[in-house]
Structure 1
Amino acid sequence: MQEQVDEPTDQEPTPDQDGETNDSTEVTAADSQEEAAATEAEAEAETFPRSYVEELRQENGKHRQRAQKAEQRLHAELVRATGRLADAEDLPFNPEHLDDAEKLTAAIDELLTRKPHLAARRPTGYIGQGATQSTAQVNLHDILRSSA
């Protein structure tokens, strides 16, 4: 008499080496369906109306523009604080100059070597202007005679 051996099918759990049954295929399929349903529910819960999203984007754009203007003003003030350029706007804006003072100094040096006429000019010595200390009496006749 021949005994029939039942071969395991895809639907029946198979015994492991320890003798336990392994229904991981059934559990995995059920878990994946539950996860897909949960993900779908989360996606629906996190969906916002188009008008709200556009409003947030416009607000974010305004903040970015404001921050960019503030960075440019800061850059101009940092350049002006060095006192090496006649006009702080002569040095083009570079965000690296905000973080590293050495790069700012190097950029100003490079600009002044290319265009020395942009350097700040400070008069020194007596140029005939400003307050003077005079010990003598002011005499209009003497002033006119010395100018003639």
Structure 2
Amino acid sequence: MTENNPPESTGTTEAGASGVDTAEKGSGAPAGESDTFSREYVEGLRKESAGYRDRANALAKRLHRELVAATNRLENPDDLAFDAEHLDDPEKLAAALEALLAERPYFAKRVVTGDAGQGNRGGATSGPESFADFFRG
């Protein structure tokens, strides 16, 4: 008698001494083969994991967009194509931004400076108090 081959005369079956099947109930596994699962069960698991992958990819793209927006260098953060390496390495993100702006400088964020000719100018002399003062001189 070896350890790999149990004696056949014990009277117990694969279900065990209590007569309960070793395959989990509701797992979709056939009663005689606990290593294989039904097609529906496997398809369900694949569909569930595909949903998690899709959500993880969407969140990674959203994080990439926010990291690019945080640099405040592009007018539209979506102009820089998604690359998973940018999430882990800030130097690669900065290098990709530099390369993009060198190739397409019109993607850079524009900042208005100087006097745009609107708003309170301060220090300006006030006009006439009334319409009659305008004619008096």
Q: Same fold (TM over 0.5)?
A: yes
C-alpha displacement at 1:138, in angstroms? 5.3
**Which of 79, 82, 90 is matched with 1:90 structurally?**
79
Question: For 1:17-64, what per-residue CA distance to the aligned partner results, in whole angstroms no more than 9, with x for missing partners?
Answer: xxxxxxxxxx7xx44545xxx9xx999223222101101100100110
- Structure with greater helix share of residues: 1
Unmatched tracts of structure 2, length 5 or more: 7-13, 15-21, 24-31, 129-137
For these two proteins, the number of residue pairs brought into alignment is 106
In 2: Cα distance, 1:126 partner to 1:89 partner: 30
1:104 and 2:74 correspond: no
RMSD: 2.6
**Which of 34, 38, 50 is matched with 2:39 structurally?**
50
Return closer, same or farther for 1:75/1:138 CA change in 2, 3 Å cut-off.
farther
1:132 and 2:85 correspond: no
For the pair shown, the structure with the greater C-alpha radius of gyration is: 1
1:117 aligned residue? 106
**Which of 34, 58, 71 is matched with 1:69 structurally?**
58
Return closer, same or farther for 1:138/1:69 CA change in 2, 3 Å cut-off.
farther
Unmatched tracts of structure 1, length 5 or more: 1-26, 140-148
In 2: Cα distance, 1:103 partner to 1:115 partner: 18
In 1: Cα distance, 2:37 partner to 2:79 partner: 46
Paired residue type of 1:132:
N
In 1: Cα distance, 2:44 partner to 2:117 partner: 62
**What is the DSSP-based 3-state SS (H/G/I as helix, E as strand, rest coil) of the residue aligned with 2:33?**
helix
C-alpha displacement at 1:86, in angstroms? 1.0
**What is the DSSP-based 3-state SS (H/G/I as helix, E as strand, rest coil) of the residue aligned with 1:44?**
coil
